[in-house]
Structure 1
Amino acid sequence: MARVAFLGLGVMGGPMAGHLADDGHAVTVYNRTASKASDWVAAHGGTSGDTPRAASEGAEIVLACVGNDADLRAVCLGEDGAFAGMGDGTLFVDHTTVSAEVTRELAEAAAARGIGYVDAPVSGGQAGAENGQLVIMCGGAEADYARAEPVMAAYAKLSRRMGDVGAGQLTKMVNQICIAGLLQGLSEGLAFAQKAGLDGAAVVDVIQGGAAGSWQMVNRHKTMLAGEFDHGFAVNWMRKDLAICLAEAENMGVPLPGTALIDQFYKDVQIMGGGRWDTSSLIARLAAFG
């Protein structure tokens, strides 16, 4: 068992840190809203720190799951940042979905202090975090990943090293590109089925076992048909992720015309007031905009 710190106790980080505690790790937590850290400690034990630095002092491995590039920089850098509290030979594991640029920047800052760095974005959403069934795509040195993997196993059904630092974030970009396309196709298919007078649920029962089947189809078709979007991964966060994908693709000279279009469709959903709706709400956009 390890002495670990976990920074960020949102809908993903809170359950992930809880699984670490359940596995017997000595966990110290930090959250920008201190009351969340107090509530977590009351529920799971362990301790909390007033700053990322305070939470990270004495930890062998520090893990983070925050919002975006700026949030990650804020918890890592500066006098009160995690790196300032971490010793030589410790390891930082980032579960946030951020740009490959900030990942490489922070990995260099960590290396200058003798700290290992693994970028480890996750897929599986809130349910995956709560059930300990996340998929984790990682970038970093082989030795650093080998140290991180048994700790991450507390909340992962699968983790894999994809290459050096940044490879995890690049793999997560592929994941988000594919999800966007799948959800747009599923939205159009279900809308077509309804307009044709078919029973949408019956249609899915027939086709989900064939070539059209996907996790999104199996797990989201009923709520999509019912117009229920108060669960899962929010549109606001998906747009943040797609902006990262599109910027990286532009840097690489890789065209993503479909992804760029679907990103604009998600913008329409935001205009409709659905920024906090689940990403499957693309079907609501079809009803509103055609």
Structure 2
Amino acid sequence: MARIAFLGTGLMGTGMAGRLIDAGHDVHVFNRTREKAMPLVERGATLAASPAQAAQDADAIFVMVGDDVASQAMWMGPDGVLSTDLRPGTLAIECSTLSHDWVEDLSSAAKNKGLDYLDCPVTGLPDAAANGQLTLFLGGEPSTIEKARPYLESISSNQLHFGAIGSGTAYKLIVNLMGSIQIAAAAEGLITAERAGLDLNLVAKALGMGGCGSPQVARNAPLMVKGNHEKDVLFSTKWRLKDTDYGLKYAHKLGLSPQIAAATLDAFQAAMDDGYAASAETKVIDALRKRLPASKG
């Protein structure tokens, strides 16, 4: 049994930490909103007062939070992980979707503290996290991955090693940016089908199973048709905009200026501007409805 720190117990983190508890590990959890960690405490986890306290004597430290700011607080805040003395070789496993620049800075800081850093963003919905069916996008040394493998196999069904630290995040940003584009494109397609007088339920079904279908389109097109963007929100407009922004900034870092991605960022920014931050990412269809110009034909 290993001692594991798990920092960030939102929808995804709760499922992932639960898998580690079920595997028999001694899991110490921290979350900024204490109440969100209590279901894990009821399952046997120990609640820590700070990230540093959770990380004390840990064999592995997992972080699963929303953005760079939250990750920075967990690792480098006044009571963050790196503020305390840790055993050399402790695994530092960052699972959040973060900007590439911050991952580079964080990995350097962790290595300077003697930690074995693993770039480990994930893909999958909360039910996949709870069932250990996530896919992990890994960047790091093969030896670090091998040391972390028992923990990684508890939370995932597939681990893809893309190369050095930062490469897992690079792929995650690429695929999430493509997902954003697909969601926005599906919204525009449905608006066009609506204008054409087509049966939108049938259109959503056909989109999901047709040549332009994808898991994103298949999942989100029917939700857009139903129009219930406030119930059981799995991924909000706020986080979709963040992922799109990080992905576009990474493309700029590589010297690219993706026009489709830029238009997609504008679409989700419009949804944010309309007050839909906490609504599901599918709410982008309403923001686009307001802004798509009528034809002059």
TM-score of the superposed pair, with normalisation by structure 1 = 0.92
Is the aligned partner of 1:263 residue 2:278? no
Secondary structure, aligned partner of 2:161:
strand
- Indicate the residue corresponding to 1:50 in structure 2: 49
Secondary structure, aligned partner of 2:66:
coil
Question: Which amino acid is the alignment partner of residue 270 of structure 2?
Answer: D
Distance 1:129 1:229, change over 3 A: farther
CA contact (8 A) 1:28 1:47 kept: yes
Distance 1:25 1:225, change over 3 A: same
Q: Partners of 1:255 and 1:109 in 2: how far apart? A: 30
Moved more, 5-14 or 119-128: 119-128
Is the aligned partner of 1:221 residue 2:225? no
CA displacement at 1:155 relative to structure 2: 2.6
Is the aligned partner of 1:287 residue 2:289? yes
1:246 to 227, 248, 251: 248
Same amino acid, percent of matched pairs: 31
- Indicate the residue corresponding to 2:178 in structure 1: 178
Is the aligned partner of 1:165 residue 2:198? no
Q: Partners of 1:110 and 1:260 in 2: how far apart? A: 33
- Pairing of 1:43-122 with structure 2 (within 5 A): 44-77=43-76, 80-83=79-82, 84-122=84-122
Secondary structure, aligned partner of 1:88:
coil
Q: Partners of 1:229 and 1:78 in 2: how far apart? A: 35
- Indicate the residue corresponding to 1:16 in structure 2: 16
CA displacement at 1:125 relative to structure 2: 3.2
Distance 1:36 1:204, change over 3 A: closer
Q: Partners of 1:104 and 1:286 in 2: how far apart? A: 35
- Indicate the residue corresponding to 2:135 in structure 1: 135
Distance 1:189 1:121, change over 3 A: same
Q: Partners of 1:218 and 1:254 in 2: how far apart? A: 29
Q: Partners of 1:161 and 1:12 in 2: how far apart? A: 21
Q: Partners of 2:156 and 2:118 in 1: how far apart? A: 15
- Indicate the residue corresponding to 1:156 in structure 2: 156
Q: Partners of 1:92 and 1:131 in 2: how far apart? A: 23
Moved more, 67-76 or 32-41: 32-41
CA displacement at 1:78 relative to structure 2: 5.2
Q: Partners of 1:154 and 1:248 in 2: how far apart? A: 30
TM-score of the superposed pair, with normalisation by structure 2 = 0.90
Question: Which amino acid is the alignment partner of residue 60 of structure 2?
Answer: I
CA displacement at 1:205 relative to structure 2: 3.5
Distance 1:280 1:91, change over 3 A: same
CA displacement at 1:64 relative to structure 2: 0.3
Q: Partners of 1:256 and 1:125 in 2: how far apart? A: 27
CA displacement at 1:159 relative to structure 2: 1.9
CA contact (8 A) 1:149 1:159 kept: no
CA contact (8 A) 1:20 1:27 kept: yes
Q: Partners of 1:222 and 1:101 in 2: how far apart? A: 36
CA contact (8 A) 2:138 2:160 kept: yes
Residue by residue over 1:129-177, the C-alpha shift from the partner in whole angstroms, topping out at 9 and shown as x without a partner, is 2343322211111111122233122232322111111111111110111
- Indicate the residue corresponding to 1:198 in structure 2: 198
Q: Partners of 1:73 and 1:205 in 2: how far apart? A: 41
Question: Which amino acid is the alignment partner of residue 37 of structure 1?
Answer: A
CA displacement at 1:213 relative to structure 2: 1.7
Distance 1:147 1:53, change over 3 A: same
2:276 to 259, 269, 274: 274
CA displacement at 1:259 relative to structure 2: 0.9
CA displacement at 1:47 relative to structure 2: 0.9
Count of residues in Structure 1 that have an aligned counterpart in Structure 2: 289
Q: Partners of 2:14 and 2:269 in 1: how far apart? A: 28
Question: Which amino acid is the alignment partner of residue 199 of structure 1?
Answer: D
Question: Which amino acid is the alignment partner of residue 49 of structure 1?
Answer: A
CA contact (8 A) 2:162 2:168 kept: yes
Moved more, 202-211 or 150-159: 202-211
Distance 1:256 1:7, change over 3 A: same
Moved more, 64-73 or 164-173: 64-73
Q: Partners of 1:117 and 1:254 in 2: how far apart? A: 28
Question: Which amino acid is the alignment partner of residue 273 of structure 2?
Answer: I
